[in-house]
């Protein structure tokens, strides 16, 4: 790999539509209805970005990926990741991307304990850098692929008890950071986006799950816990979720597995 994927050099269809409803959107221009927008197509509007209840920026362009919207600035990395996974025989999908204030409010109304939802304005999906993936698909192969490869594209896990939740904190020298996300070029920005490495937010060694099993955070929905059901064979299941969330479906601690299979797995760069 030599070229950092950006929205300019990945294969998107630059078809422009404008849509909009609700307070975070600009005027509806009538170019197309949202239903007419296909995957990898551009959606234009006016969308507020929020962090801890404070509006810190606005984006005007989203890319539709798997029926979800991703801010254009990070969509190039997501699309490049999906296509690299496909080359490895893994079907990586976005299950949640950027959420408008209206979408976060709707989700908050129907929240449940398996999939927690933050108050409107406080959800990380309103910051524009968070993406959820289908980590439990294909008996955990998708999760393993992400653990091995996502950091190369600037994505790291940031919530210990949510395997599906990844955020763009690009770690490489030339990796682009969205201007609105702040950092050195814009230190008035409250998000203060800075480069973070793989285990910056979710440490390599940690324990999630029920306190009586040694965990310190309730392990939210684990797909393979559910998949394995009553078998109780998987750590997440036998300990009611008390687990190191870097453990994969195979019950193996993935960083060790990857170290063994390819000692340089975490030193790759574009």
C-beta closer to Zn ion: residue 132 or 221: 132
Task: Using the rule CB under 5 A, give the single segment among 36-44, 86-94, 163-171, 220-228 that binds Zn ion.
Answer: 163-171
What is 35-87 written as a DSSP string?
GG--TTEEEEEEEEEEETTEEEEEEEEEEEETTEEEEHHHHHHHHHHHHHHHH
Task: Using the rule CB under 5 A, give the single segment among 25-33, 110-118, 157-165, 220-228 that binds Zn ion.
Answer: 157-165
Number of Cβ within a 10 Å radius of residue 20: 17
DSSP three-state, residue 129: coil
Q: Does residue 148 touch Zn ion according to CB under 5 A?
A: no
Cα angle value 226/227/230 (rounded, 5°): 70
C-beta closer to Zn ion: residue 41 or 132: 132
- Residue 115 CA to residue 105 CA, distance in Å, equals 15
Task: Using the rule CB under 5 A, give the single segment among 56-64, 127-135, 141-149, 229-237 that binds Zn ion.
Answer: 127-135
Closest approach, Cβ 18 to Zn ion, in A, equals 27
Residue number with the smallest Cβ distance to Zn ion: 165
Q: Residue 233 corresponds to which tokens in the numbers above? A: 């064979």
Q: Does residue 144 touch Zn ion according to CB under 5 A?
A: no
C-beta closer to Zn ion: residue 116 or 183: 116
Q: Terminal CA-to-CA distance of the chain, rounded, Å?
A: 5
Closest approach, Cβ 105 to Zn ion, in A, equals 16
Closest approach, Cβ 33 to Zn ion, in A, equals 27
Q: Does residue 99 touch Zn ion according to CB under 5 A?
A: no
Q: Does residue 177 touch Zn ion according to CB under 5 A?
A: no
Q: Say which DSSP state 208 is in.
A: B
Among 41, 73, 103, 132, contact with Zn ion (rule: CB under 5 A) = 132
Cα angle value 166/172/175 (rounded, 5°): 80
- Residue 170 CA to residue 234 CA, distance in Å, equals 32
Among 165, 177, 234, 257, contact with Zn ion (rule: CB under 5 A) = 165
Q: Residue 219 corresponds to which tokens in the numbers above? A: 């392990």
C-beta closer to Zn ion: residue 73 or 132: 132
- How many residues line the site for Zn ion (CB under 5 A)? 2
Q: Does residue 103 touch Zn ion according to CB under 5 A?
A: no
Judged by the rule CB under 5 A, the positions of this chain that interact with Zn ion are 132, 165
């Amino acid at each position: 790999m030599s070229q950092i994927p950006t929205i300019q050099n990945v294969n998107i269809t630059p078809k422009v539509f404008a849509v909009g409803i609700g307070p975070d959107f600009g005027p509806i221009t009538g170019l197309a209805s949202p239903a007419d927008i296909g995957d990898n197509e551009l959606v234009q509007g006016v969308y507020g970005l929020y962090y801890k209840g404070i509006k810190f920026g606005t984006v005007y362009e989203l890319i539709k990926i798997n029926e979800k919207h991703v801010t254009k600035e990070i969509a190039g990395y997501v699309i490049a990741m999906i296509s690299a996974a496909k080359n490895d025989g893994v079907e990586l999908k976005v299950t949640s991307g950027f959420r408008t204030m209206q979408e976060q409010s709707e989700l908050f109304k129907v929240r449940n304990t398996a999939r927690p939802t933050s108050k409107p304005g406080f959800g990380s999906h309103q910051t524009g850098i968070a993406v959820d993936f289908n980590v439990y698909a294909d008996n955990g192969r998708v999760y393993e692929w992400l653990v091995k490869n996502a950091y190369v594209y600037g994505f790291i896990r940031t919530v210990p008890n949510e395997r599906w939740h990844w955020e763009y904190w690009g770690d490489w020298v030339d990796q682009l950071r969205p201007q609105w996300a702040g950092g050195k070029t814009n230190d008035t920005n409250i998000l203060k986006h800075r480069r973070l490495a793989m285990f910056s937010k979710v440490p390599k060694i940690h324990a999630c799950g029920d306190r009586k099993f040694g965990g310190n955070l309730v392990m939210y929905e684990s797909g393979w816990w559910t998949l394995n059901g009553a078998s109780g064979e998987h750590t997440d299941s036998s300990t009611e979720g008390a687990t190191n969330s870097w453990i994969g479906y195979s019950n193996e601690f993935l960083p060790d597995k990857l170290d063994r299979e390819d000692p340089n797995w975490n030193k790759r760069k574009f």
